Structure 1
Amino acid sequence: MDFTSLREAFPLIAGRPGLVYLDSAATSQKPKRVLEALDRYYKELNANVHRGAYRLSVAATEAYEEARRRIARFLGAEEREIIFVRNTTEAMNLVAYAWGLRNLKEGDEILVTEMEHHAGLVPWHLVAGLTGARIRAIPLTEEGRLDLSALDTLLTERVKVVSVVHMSNVLGTINPVAEIAKKAKEVGALVVVDGAQSAPHLPVNVKALGADFFALSGHKMLGPTGAGVLWGRYEVLEGMGPFLGGGEMIREVHVDRSTYAPPPQRFEAGT
């Protein structure tokens, strides 16, 4: 690998010869081609997507939907299952509120792990406080891996959702999501995967993982900030209400009521 040319591909790093950047787990640097693509969009294609019949808006909309198609291919998913959000945190909150708040009740359990990022814990704390559900965790071994032997005890019919990080941002541990998902399905639990760290580093096929939701952030995988993705199994998305209300996510609006667009537009309110 030619590290000199690799450094030159990243303007921030190229401009600082002594810089060694080791914080990509928090946010990655942006290569020149990404910065050029952003610049080109604002210079040549900037218009509000899905909001106009004029040529520029149609072209911007096509570029937007092409991005959705590319993400779908990247994750082994269907286009209609790809929801654009700001980041993994928003994606996890979307699931917790739009699904959890409407489906969890007192006596239900939410199973997480002891290595979750705050985005995989706090949304469930908030929803548990509103619904009366209880949060339990899969413990860690001394080697920093999940103690899967505890699953047989933890996974009961009270567990309605299992929220698990695919790759730990602290330990680097890669969790056996497919194995966990298979056991979760045996008790009828929904499976939510925080893929913020795994999507930049591993081949990901969401259907093969057996999950119901998978979240990622663009800014951790060479993309811009403010761009993230939630993949959701369409059958689950279809049964969920909106997370945010506003433009774009509606079918009809009256003074006293509204009806909502189908997924994914249902979950993409505003510009």
Structure 2
Amino acid sequence: MDLSTLRVDFPLIAGRPDLVYLDSAATSQKPRRVIESLKRFYETLNANVHRGAYRLSAEATEAYEEARKRLARFLNANPQEIVFVRNTTEAMNLVAYAWGLRNLKEGDEVLVTEMEHHAGLVPWHLVAGLTGARIRAIPLTEEGRLDLSALDTLLTERVKVVSVVHMSNVLGTINPVAEIARRAKEVGALVVVDGAQSAPHLPVNVKALGADFFALSGHKMLGPTGAGVL
């Protein structure tokens, strides 16, 4: 890979050979074609989506739905399963509040991990406080991996949700989500996956993972800020 050629694709760093950007796990830089696509939309397609019968609105709607189809192909999902949100945090909150408040009750358990991002912890703790559910966590080994042997005692029929980060933003650990999901389904639990870090770096197949919900942020994977997917 010719890194000097790669840098040319990114306007912010193209003219700054002294700049080494190492914060993509928080926010990635945007390649020229993404910036140009945004500019092209506002210059040629900007109109209400799904709320107009005139030609420009229809063209904007078509572009919007094509984005949905592309994300579905990217994740091996169905287009009707794609919900646009602002980011992973909003997606995780949406699941916790829209599903959790309606379905969790006292005595139920939500299983998380000790390496979750705050977005994968705080919503469940708040919803647990409102519903009487209990939060339990899969512990870590000294090597920074999940101690899957703990699942033997943690995964009971009281567990209604397993919320797990696919790739840790702190440790870089890639968790065996498919295995965890398989065991979660054996006790009837839903599986929520924080894919904010995995989607930019790994091939993601939500069906193979066994994810009931999978969340990602566009701004971590070369896309614009304020565009995410559940």
TM-score normalised per structure 1: 0.84
Matched AA of 1:202: L
User: Is 1:121 paired with 2:124?
Assistant: no
* Aligned residues between the structures: 230
Q: Deviations over 1:135-179 (max 9, x none)?
A: 000000000000000001000011000000000000000000000
Mapping for residues 140-219 of structure 1, pairs under 5 Å: 140-219=140-219
Equivalent residue for 2:25?
Answer: 25
Displacement of 1:211 in angstroms is: 1.2
- The aligned residue for residue 101 of structure 2 is 101
Match of 2:76 in 1: 76
Rounded Cα–Cα distance in structure 1 between residues aligned with 2:51 and 2:18: 47
1:192 counterpart SS class: strand
Q: Distance in 2 between matches of 1:118 and 1:64?
A: 30
Q: Classify the secondary structure of the residue corresponding to 2:199.
A: coil
What is the CA–CA distance in structure 1 between the aligned matches of 2:77 and 2:119, rounded to whole Å?
23
Give the CA deviation at 1:205.
0.5
CA distance in 2 between counterparts of 1:6 and 1:138 reads 40
Aligned to 2:16: 16
How much has 1:14 moved relative to structure 2? 1.1
**Matched residue of 2:198: which SS?**
coil
Gap runs ≥5 in structure 1: 231-271
Determine the C-alpha separation between the residues in 2 that align with 1:2 and 1:109: 50
Structure 2 unmatched ranges of 5 or more:
none
Matching residue's letter, 1:13: I
The offset of 1:27, in angstroms, is 0.5
Equivalent AA in structure 2 for residue 192 of structure 1:
V
Q: Trace 1:37-116 onto structure 2 (pairs within 5 A).
A: 37-116=37-116
Instruction: Write the distance in 1 (CA, Å) between the matches of 2:108 and 2:15.
Output: 53
CA distance in 1 between partners of 2:110 and 2:54 (Å): 47
Name 2:220's counterpart in structure 1: 220
**Can you list the C-alpha shifts for 1:104-146, whole angstroms capped at 9, x where unaligned?**
0011000000000000000001100100100000000000000
Deviation track 1:198-250 (CA, whole Å, cap 9, x = no partner) reads 000000000000110000000000000000000xxxxxxxxxxxxxxxxxxxx
Q: Which has the higher helix share?
A: 2
The residue type paired with residue 187 of structure 2 is V
Tell me the amino acid that sits aligned with residue 19 of structure 1.
L
| Deviation for aligned residue 1:15 | 2.7
1:21 partner letter: Y
Structure 1 outlier segments of 4+, above 2 Å: none
The one-letter code of the counterpart of 2:110 is: I
Of all paired residues, the percent bearing the same amino acid is: 89
**Separation (CA, whole Å) in 2 of partners of 1:64 and 1:91:** 19
Root mean square deviation of aligned Cα: 0.5
